[in-house]
């Protein structure tokens, strides 16, 4: 890693006291507001998330990368920020959960890169207490650069006056955003709906952007300096390897950096749809990412031509990698929360059941002989598999046993959403050739 010069660009971390305060809506609104002014806006998301980045990409017009000091790593985060600052007019970083939640937290990331912070506080169910929350968050860690507070979901001018009645004079007030039902971003059990599923999304984003015209966010000038950082080029260990990736409404939980990393390793990438395509492409390896297969059970079940082509790929001992919803799709059957059951591909012998409540959430890693594969898990399902697990992930929270990892010939499956860049050897091994058992610590 080299530091020879700097790039500078206005930057802002959008954080809040907790989840559900409106961070994504406000970040998207800022991105769309400045994009509509002809500015080039680059947005990042702190922590593991697939859904918020889809909204933020629609708002900004550019792909959204993750920033996380543990999963992504400080060096890669620094390189991504420098790279974006070279050409952008504004950098936005949406935080994860509350400002101080997690280890590392959004606050840790902001301190690491000297980033200014906007606090978004949902005012819908409070009045003067708003001031106490703003004061507490601003002064809890004096090393943070809190540049302002924005009140979200304010119902009226009278409500805004109540909020400001006791507001501390030493904290910049950046204004209030009124409750706007027509611009609300709809949700389901895993979070926001996918961008492609939200009706009139651009209209909603423009409405949100319009709410900023009377706030202090209409003139951002928080210039931030980013040191030049270059990453060591990867060896082309997947050169001429053709990888086909499932990508449609049922399988969309794909980190942009994972695809970028496969290309850096030399792989040729093609996308296909298990929902609509009659068969999978002729490829050296297949990747089935997570998503919402439970919302498309009938269509996935009825596409038997796709099933047959996947089984044929496996019969020729070609690599198949599946995570979370992709793993469930390769199983014998999935049963949704209403008891509706459908047959799936039948490659991985087992059955999945979707539950109304979350069954696992958090950062986890897979121990390897040469390090670790980092990632996270987030699912509402359980999976009973006839195949004995070959390894287990480890929960970062307490070091306890995490998700099961299944391996059978060149099939590799787990609930873990992996960050490929954390282990180039693992990535090249799983997608490139026979899985090397010596890479795993049993």
Residues marked as catalytic: 324
Specify the DSSP class assigned to residue 238. T
- Tokens 């499956």 belong to residue: 413
371 DSSP β-pair partners: 368
User: Rounded distance, CA 40 to CA 392, Å?
Assistant: 43
Check residue 47 and give left, alpha or beta (phi > 0: left; psi -120 to 50: alpha). left
Paired tokens of 392: 């287990």
User: Rounded distance, CA 367 to CA 321, Å?
Assistant: 18
Burial of 95 (0-12, 13-18, 19+ CB in 10 A): buried
Crossing angle for the helix pair 201-210 and 23-36, to the nearest 10 degrees: 90
Q: Which three-class secondary structure state does DSSP give residue 329? A: helix
User: Rounded distance, CA 169 to CA 154, Å?
Assistant: 20
DSSP of 252-317: EE--HHHHHHHHHTT-EEEEE-TTT-SS----SEEEE-EE-GGGSHHHHHH-HHHHHHHHHHHHTT
Paired tokens of 338: 């209403």
User: Rounded distance, CA 129 to CA 329, Å?
Assistant: 48
User: Rounded distance, CA 414 to CA 418, Å?
Assistant: 9
308 DSSP β-pair partners: none
């Amino acid at each position: 890693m080299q530091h020879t010069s700097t790039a500078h660009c206005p930057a802002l971390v959008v954080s809040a006291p907790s989840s559900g305060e409106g961070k994504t809506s406000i970040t998207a609104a800022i991105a769309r507001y400045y994009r509509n002014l002809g500015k080039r806006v680059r947005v990042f998301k702190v922590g593991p998330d697939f859904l918020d980045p889809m909204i933020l990409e629609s708002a900004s017009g550019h792909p959204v990368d993750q920033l996380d000091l543990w999963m992504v790593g400080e060096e890669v985060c620094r390189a991504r920020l420098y790279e974006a600052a070279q050409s952008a007019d504004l950098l936005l970083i949406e935080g994860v959960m509350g400002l101080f939640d997690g280890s590392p937290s959004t606050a840790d990331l902001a301190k690491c890169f000297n980033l200014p912070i906007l606090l978004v506080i949902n005012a819908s169910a409070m009045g003067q207490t708003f001031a106490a929350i703003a004061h507490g968050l601003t002064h809890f860690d004096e090393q943070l650069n809190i540049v302002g507070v924005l009140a979200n979901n304010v119902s009226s001018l009278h409500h805004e006056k109540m909020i400001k009645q006791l507001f501390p004079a030493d904290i910049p007030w950046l204004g209030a955003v009124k409750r706007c039902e027509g611009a609300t971003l709809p949700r389901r059990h895993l979070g926001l709906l996918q961008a492609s599923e939200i009706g009139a999304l651009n209209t909603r984003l423009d409405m949100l952007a319009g709410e900023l015209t009377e706030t202090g966010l209409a003139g951002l000038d928080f210039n931030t300096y980013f040191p030049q950082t270059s990453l060591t080029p990867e060896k082309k260990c997947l050169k001429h390897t053709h990888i086909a990736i499932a990508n449609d409404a049922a399988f969309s939980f794909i980190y942009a950096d994972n695809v970028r990393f496969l290309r850096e390793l030399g792989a040729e990438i093609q996308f296909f749809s298990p929902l609509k395509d009659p068969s999978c492409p002729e490829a050296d390896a297949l990747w089935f990412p997570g998503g919402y297969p439970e919302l498309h059970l009938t269509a996935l079940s009825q596409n038997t031509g796709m099933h047959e082509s996947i089984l044929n790929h496996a019969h020729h001992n070609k690599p198949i990698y599946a995570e979370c919803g992709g793993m469930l799709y390769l199983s014998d059957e999935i049963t949704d929360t209403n008891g509706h059951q459908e047959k799936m591909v039948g490659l991985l012998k087992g059955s999945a059941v979707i539950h109304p409540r979350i069954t696992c959430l958090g950062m986890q890693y897979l121990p390897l002989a040469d390090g670790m594969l980092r990632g996270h898990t987030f699912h509402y399902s359980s999976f009973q598999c006839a195949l004995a697990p070959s390894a287990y992930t480890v929960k970062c929270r307490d070091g306890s046993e995490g998700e099961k990892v299944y391996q059978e010939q060149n099939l590799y499956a787990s609930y873990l959403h992996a960050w490929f860049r954390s282990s180039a050897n693992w990535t090249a091994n799983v997608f490139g050739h026979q899985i090397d058992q010596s890479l795993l610590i049993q």
